[in-house]
Amino acid sequence: MYDLMIIGAGPAGITASVYAARKRINTVVITGDVGGQAAWSGDIENYTGYQFITGPDLTNKFEEHMEQYKLPIKLHEMIDDLAREGDRIVARTRNGSYSAKAAIIATGKLSRELGVPGEKEFKNKGVSYCATCDGPVFAGKDVAVIGGGNSALDAALQLIRIGRKVYLINIAGSLTGDPIMREKVEGAPNVTVMNKTKVTAVLGDKFVSGITVCPVNGGREEACLAPTTVNVQGVFVEIGLVPSSGFVRGVRKNDRGEIMVNARNETDVPGIFAAGDVTDVVEKQIIIAAGEGSKACLSAFKYLSRLK
């Protein structure tokens, strides 16, 4: 049995693991991947110490730091269930189970799906949720980015340099991301912004060939007897994220599914801590997630120190 389990290896989980190693806590890191959302980010200009760095490069820096301490990492492990059982925290995966005296949940968030016909059929066949990962495949092609917030703007800024034409499909009346990002996107010659517009279907044969869109007014979809077809070869869905917390039992969550924590990153279950975007912390930023990961580990260390 371990003293501490860290679930997830994004900015919060990696930072927690570094602190755990420095505190000499008997720790295991269980994660599906390394980097989390940071690995999907494009250009990062607001992480202290780096005036400019890409998401993948920052992820590599995180990973190099973590690997210095040679913690046991169970990579590509997906947890189906985690709960407190007696005096220990038990996590069950398809390959077995892990037990620890304490756990830090740092699983971040997952991309929200559109939920329209054709989306699932063309996933990885033109439908993508990661411009950083898949953008280069669409060099010289026409693509659509669905969304109007920072994640959509970030994707658009990456694709502007790669694609021939970028359509930004936004259900709201105007773009809502950071002003500087909006200016860059709206000023690009190969971008068409379509506000008050909703995607109703993804079209294609073996691969994506287009999307159908309908006008939206005041939050209501108008009668769309003749939907407009936008011819694109790629669709990047950037309409927000949902917390990856469904596997956690017994802890208090808010109506968005975020794990509720106090200022010490404690949940309402003794021994279970949480950090980063999976929690109800107000802002979702890489640097905030990293700081929350350090706090969670320090709190877990104090908790373990008080155990008999």
134 tagged catalytic: yes
Choose, from 33, 81, 133, 268, the residue flagged as catalytic.
Answer: 133
Q: What is the C-alpha separation between 280 and 292, in angstroms, rounded?
A: 11
Which residues are within 8 A (CB) of 175 and not within 5 positions of it... i.e. 6 or more apart? 148, 149, 152, 153, 168, 182, 185, 186, 193, 195
297 tagged catalytic: no
Q: Which residues pair with 230 in a beta bridge?
A: 211
Choose, from 130, 178, 224, 280, the residue flagged as catalytic.
Answer: 130
Closest CA to 41 of 155, 165, 147, 120: 155
- Cα 54 versus chain centre, distance: 16
133 tagged catalytic: yes
Which residues are within 8 A (CB) of 95 and not within 5 positions of it... i.e. 6 or more apart? 77
Report helix, strand or coil for 67. Answer: helix
Choose, from 3, 134, 154, 277, the residue flagged as catalytic.
Answer: 134
Q: Are 103 and 91 in contact (CB under 8 A)?
A: yes
- Catalytic residues, which ones? 130, 133-134
